[in-house]
Amino acid sequence: MTEPARPTTPDGQWGPVIAGGGRRRWGRVGLIVGGVLLLALVATGAGAALYANAQISRTEVDGLTSGSGPLHVLVVGSDSREGLTPEQQVELTAGGDVGERTDTIFVLSIEGGRAAILAFPRDLLVTRCDGSTGRINAAIGIGGPTCMIQTVSRLSGLPIEHYVAVDFLGFVGIVDAVGGVEVCIDKRIQDPFSGADFQPGCQVLNGRQALAFVRVRKVDNDLERIKRQQQFLRALAGEVASVSTIVNPVALYRTGGRVGSALTADDSLGVLDLLRLAWGGRGVARGRLVTHTVPAVPRTVNGAAVLEPIATAAEALFATFRDGSVLLAADGEVSRDDIQVQVLNASRAAGLAGATRDALQQAGYDVVSIGDAPEQERTVIRYPAGQRAAAELLATDLPVTADLVEDASAATLVLVLGRDIAEAGAGSG
């Protein structure tokens, strides 16, 4: 890709400054803030949806269109401090005025009782609604929700039917409304920038603690942050859709009202749409949620760090969202007979790749090749965009717990056999 032209944002800048590159970035909310609020709302059911609908703020949005496939809703989360008192900024570790910024951008796709999320990294390099090239999260500052809708649709080809925006206080309120959410943490987490300070173990987080947990960004990397956010999404959706909430009218309407008041949506989002979403939201609570991120590689353009989409892999993923096939993974509708696997031996155990090939073929997999790889301790399954369900199925047939890694460069599943699987006696020379 050639070096793109300097973007023409209203202030002449290349979007917001990257962390460590100038202004301090205080409030990078993640995918979870928008996702939890919307899915929590729809999981509460029809009665609460009616009540919550009346609490939602409305905004005029152009460029919305309906398609013949799943319902696609663009969800954005802003870390604007508007509406926060100085005391609340201190309490939430969210000091400073950062203006209008969207650090959370994703499409929620719903069809029946199935749901899928397609996340757009905030630093994704795109052509925005006005023809300028730069980070996707600057689109909101160029032309508001309409520009963001047009930018996402141009990139993905997805027809966006509705728009929803969420905020800090709404996230805190919904967590507190359900009495907190339990998460299990495997190692200590400390991040003064988000206010997180958690010991290992299972614990119930209140709203303020939950916000700190999902905003953690300094202790590892964005991939680990996304894992934490997805972990919390499922936990909160399960709590909201639990029997104790659904059968308790006070809790049900309190939750729906808190979430509704935290949302800003397009004028056309109505009760019938919320009921469609409610059905899919209950699927989330049962673990029927597929999550993907637009595949991209890091680049530096005009001194700014961006993520450039991998065109072929991204288009393949977008196609599964357009036709709804991505939602099949929410039901686990994948067969061993349809899965192609490449097996690589990284264990030093002679003959392990061949023995594994024979076992997988007997189970029904199509093993396309075997080979060797540099030695590593753990077994890993690398999978192309859109094939997470296939990777999860393969993992269930292994004698060890494999790490699952999305790999935009992979054409099939790639099973890399580590020393752990050799020690488990998976095969012999």
pLDDT tens for residues 293-335?
888 888 998 888 888 999 988 898 899 899 888 887 666 666 7
Q: Can you give the pLDDT at residue 86?
A: 61
Cα–Cα distance measured from residue 164 to residue 158, given in angstroms and rounded to the nearest whole number: 16
Cα–Cα distance measured from residue 289 to residue 232, given in angstroms and rounded to the nearest whole number: 13
Give the closest residue to 338 by CA, choosing from 391, 385, 299, 302.
Answer: 391
Amino acid, res. 201: G
Please give the model's pTM, rounded to 2 decimal places: 0.64
CATH 3.40.1710.10 fits 336-423, yes or no: no
Task: Compute mean pLDDT per 10 residues along the chain, 429 residues long, and list them.
Answer: 34 28 30 49 57 80 85 79 57 52 79 82 91 92 93 96 80 79 88 86 90 78 65 72 52 64 83 71 61 85 89 89 81 73 92 89 87 93 82 84 84 91 60
- With beta carbons less than 8 A apart as the criterion, state whether 153 and 159 touch: yes
Two domains, one topology: 31-329 and 336-423: no
CATH 3.40.630.190 fits 31-329, yes or no: yes
pLDDT digits (tens, 9 = 90+) for 180-226: 888 888 889 998 877 889 999 899 999 889 888 887 867 775 556 66
* Domain extents in the chain: 31-329, 336-423
